[in-house]
Structure 1
């Protein structure tokens, strides 16, 4: 008599476990989140690939999980220490330090400590922030920097575009003066095209007059 019992593929079960694992990461620090998330995703991928090629899904999950844990933890090893250091160095300055979805360290510098209206001269209160940032790059010659200058919507693009670029250039020049190679730094201006607030009030315009500094690792070459 034929059996109606159907063999259940382990992949959906592992996917559910991976999702539960990721959901449980809320109370972990960045290092633990990277490892747990990478392991969960790696386990699912390993199980699916192993099953599809005739191998053991369980063995594939173990191998995939181990590799995923290493991959998911790359941010932690290279960037987490710098994120924490910059958070400490910028306390009380208004600078926002975050990790971007693509694993870049981002410093968003508000206008009140960066540049005066219509000026590309670095304000004195920004200098200690840039000093701490430059110090964190000492001995880390593989890390790359991208500086993006922004303005509010006051004035025309003919004024705002070059002003935002000059602001980014000023930050780049400051870092170069502190022995950071210019070959590692990209400086661009976005004018008023990427606002983070409306330009309807003086307060919102001030939020849009900002500089963003990104730190990232170079892409791995195969």
Structure 2
């Protein structure tokens, strides 16, 4: 019974981490939950007594903890969130903490890019300037920039356009002192809409850039350098 629960938990990890329709955010959260579930089941079963029940309970608790185990939400991350909330107030940019402890900036097209263009608009630059300064102050974080488009134009246009928008955002941040090796970019084209593409207002919502900032737990827990004795 114990082995069956452990195998089930590990199988769930593989299935959750490999779902093709998941966004990157959902995939990372699900993978963390699967890892937590597997470890929880192993630990629950190994403690002896009530094996099946302990393993099942361990899987549930481990899954909940594993969803956020990969990143931490430090005081620096909280301060960065507050700073960006102040810097973007009234602009339409949405600043939030994700389920897997990442800072997310959701930037609509009316302040980021013109239709069918990847050039950064002038009113987007002050936001990126402030954002870059918070990234420089917290060098342990990693950044993922994802570009999106609406459904007009077809994949042949939208897919490279979304990548170019993410790339231009990255290049602007690096020009403000953020190390390029901290930044990953992706283009999702029109494949992950947040609204139907039936009206101009909804299409504008889908033309957006999402920026995720994560402070990996491994970086936060890296051992401090010590003086030789």
What displacement does 1:75 show? 1.0
Q: Report the Cα offset of residue 74 of structure 1.
A: 4.1
Count the aligned residue pairs. Answer: 162
**Cross-structure match for 1:159:** 157
Question: CA offsets per residue over residues 29-78 of structure 1, 9 Å max, x none?
Answer: xxxxxxxxxxxxxxxx9xx97xx569xxxxxxxxxxxxx9xx8x941424
Q: 2: distance between equivalents of 1:216 and 1:129?
A: 19
Alignment of 1:41-120 (within 5 A): 52=47, 74-120=72-118
Which structure has the bigger radius of gyration? 1
Cα deviation per residue 1:100-132 (whole Å; 9 max; x = unaligned)? Answer: 000000000001000000000001111111011
TM-score, normalized by length of structure 2? 0.65
**Matches of 2:154 and 2:175, distance apart in 1:** 32
1:218 to 193, 216, 223: 216
Partner of 2:196 in structure 1?
198
* 1:208 equivalenced with 2:206 (yes/no): yes
Q: Deviations over 1:123-152 (max 9, x none)?
A: 111111101110101232211110000000
- Give unpaired runs (5+ residues) of structure 2: 1-39, 50-64, 223-229
TM-score of the aligned structures, taking structure 1 as reference length: 0.67
- Residue among 137, 150, 175 paired with 1:177: 175
Gaps of 5+ in 1: 1-44, 55-67
